[in-house]
Amino acid sequence: MPFSKPLVVILKKMCKFVGADYKKMDFHKDDWYWDYTWTKEEEGKFADWMVKYLMENKKARKMFSGVIRTKNQIKEATNMFIFNYGWKVSEDLREN
């Protein structure tokens, strides 16, 4: 099933942040978001970009359940997206 245009924009931007090739990613794989890492700083910059993108794009906001209109609601939705689908944070990696 193809993704919505706004989700494709978001996923392409995520890939760009870590140097991943969007066209080669298998987003249907259960743990695709474990394939790359980013720093806390990169994650923060992506979050800032995504908040701005959602603020400016009503269709993109509709991807999220419920009505999100305020900046705080958009930040919350962005944080939830990153929590669920964001790349691993490199500072959180532990050696066994």
pLDDT in tens, 50-96: 999 999 998 898 887 777 889 999 999 999 999 999 999 997 544 44
Q: What are the CA-CA distances from residue 58 to residues 22, 24, 45 (Å)?
A: 24, 28, 21
Q: What whole-number distance in Å separates Cα of residue 5 and Cα of residue 77?
A: 18
Mean pLDDT score, 27-39:
94
> Which pLDDT value is given to residue 84?
94
> Which pLDDT value is given to residue 37?
95
> Which pLDDT value is given to residue 96?
42
